[in-house]
Amino acid sequence: MTNETLQELLGSWFPNPEASVASEPVEVTEGEDAIEAKEPINPSLLEFTEEGSQFLNVLVKPENLHQLMSKLKTTAETSFDYLFCLSGVDWGTDLGIVYHLESTKHRHSIVVKVKTEDRENPTFDSVCDIWRTADFHEREVFDFFGIKFNNHPNLKRLFLTDEWDGFPLRKDYVDEINMVVK
């Protein structure tokens, strides 16, 4: 599948309810309301971009994450059965996960991203039940970023000891003794 057809298909899975409501009154009220420069409403709850990446990037809201991932795996046209990379990222204000997916049948790839602003208690749904490799990868993310995963069977630190204070791969992590800052 090309990136365009993928985008079209995925977009149709999660239609934006605001987009359908908003599109109707625009036609009725011409005149003063129409003068206001309206931002184009995304027809889907997913955000797509191909900018600065070789893959199609999809940004999904945390509440839709598990449903989207499950559909990506089970739908015949997409069948993304190979989760080859799962990375935690600290974007400064947001914490999030980047999933790199490939289909061994169709040999197309996609990148799914999910973000949250909650740095105290960041939580996403686990995708362990969809791809079993996520078990270890999510534990690694929990270990280094402190991101929790709902329904993870064994969420505890993987590399560091249980007593370790803080999450080292976060940008605001400070360890004055061991870190050499240049």
Instruction: Return residues touching another protein (CB under 8 A).
Output: 51-55, 57, 81-85, 87, 89-90, 98, 100, 104, 107, 111, 131-133, 135-137, 140, 144, 158-161, 168-169, 180-182
Exposure b/e, 139-172, CB count within 10 A at least 16 = b: bbbbbbbbbebeebeebeebeeeeeeeebbebee
Smallest distance, another protein to C-beta of residue 180, A: 8
Q: Tell me how far, at minimum, the Cβ of 144 lies from another protein, in Å.
A: 8
Torsion sign, CA atoms 84, 88, 89, 94: positive
Residue (2 or 104) nearer to another protein, CB: 104
Max CA separation in the chain (angstroms)? 66
Q: Phi and psi at residue 65, in whole multiples of 5°? A: -55, -55
- Nearer Cβ to another protein, position 11 or 96? 96
Smallest gap from Cβ 69 to another protein, in A, equals 13
13/82 with CB nearer another protein: 82
Q: Indicate left, alpha or beta for 151 from its phi (over 0: left) and psi (-120 to 50: alpha).
A: left
- Closer of 18 and 50 to another protein (Cβ): 50
C-beta of 140: minimal distance to another protein in Å? 8
